[in-house]
Amino acid sequence: MKRIHVWLAAVLMAAGLGLVAPGPASATTSYCGIVWGSLAKANPTMSAANVTNVRTGQHLCYDRMVIDLQGKVQGYSVQYVPVVVQDGSGFPIPLLGGAFLQVTVTAPSYDQNGQVTYNPAAKAELSNVSGYQTFRQVAYAGSFEGYTSIGLGVRARLPFRVFTLDGPGTGSRLVVDVAHRW
């Protein structure tokens, strides 16, 4: 019986030490598991798709912008810039926020016959983002020679990720998520 008590005490002590012993040091920590970074992300492939809509949403750890396309999205460029510029003219697009993302998809906002596929009523406010943690403004920067650009004003230069999704139907989506913090 004494042997069992000694063994039990040894096991409990070992387990206790394991609980209070410090874990391995981590070189990096992340918010919500986010390890995206803030450098430019791009895929230069041209697309045969057309932009049809831009929408936004809020998530627990990030704000999301989605560009809907008719057809398969192929290429894009998303990067922080000092000023978002209008496609074709290069005129600056004024935006709210402490940092600015220029989101360019290699797909026009018109079809092969020149018919408009996306013509927002309020180019300076594509989506109402008041109350969002990170987004400050989403503005249309134009469509020119097969490219469509969106200006995204954000609170600060924060990590972001870019990816594409298929659907619905034969369409696709370009998704830009911007973290609420580092």
pLDDT for residue 181 is more than 80: yes
Which residue, 40, 109, 33, 26, is CA-closest to 68?
A: 109
Confidence tier at 6 by pLDDT (50, 70, 90):
very low
**Domains of the chain listed by start with CATH number:** 41-179 (2.60.40.3500)
| Structure-model confidence comparison of residues 22 and 45, the more confident one | 45
What's the confidence (pLDDT) of residue 67? 98
Name 126's Cβ contacts closer than 8 Å, sequence gap at least 6.
54, 56, 120, 138, 139, 140, 150
In the numeric block, which tokens belong to residue 173?
Answer: 């989506």
pLDDT tens figures, 7-19:
445 544 444 444 4
In the numeric block, which tokens belong to residue 49?
Answer: 């798709």
Which residue, 98, 44, 33, is CA-closest to 74?
A: 44
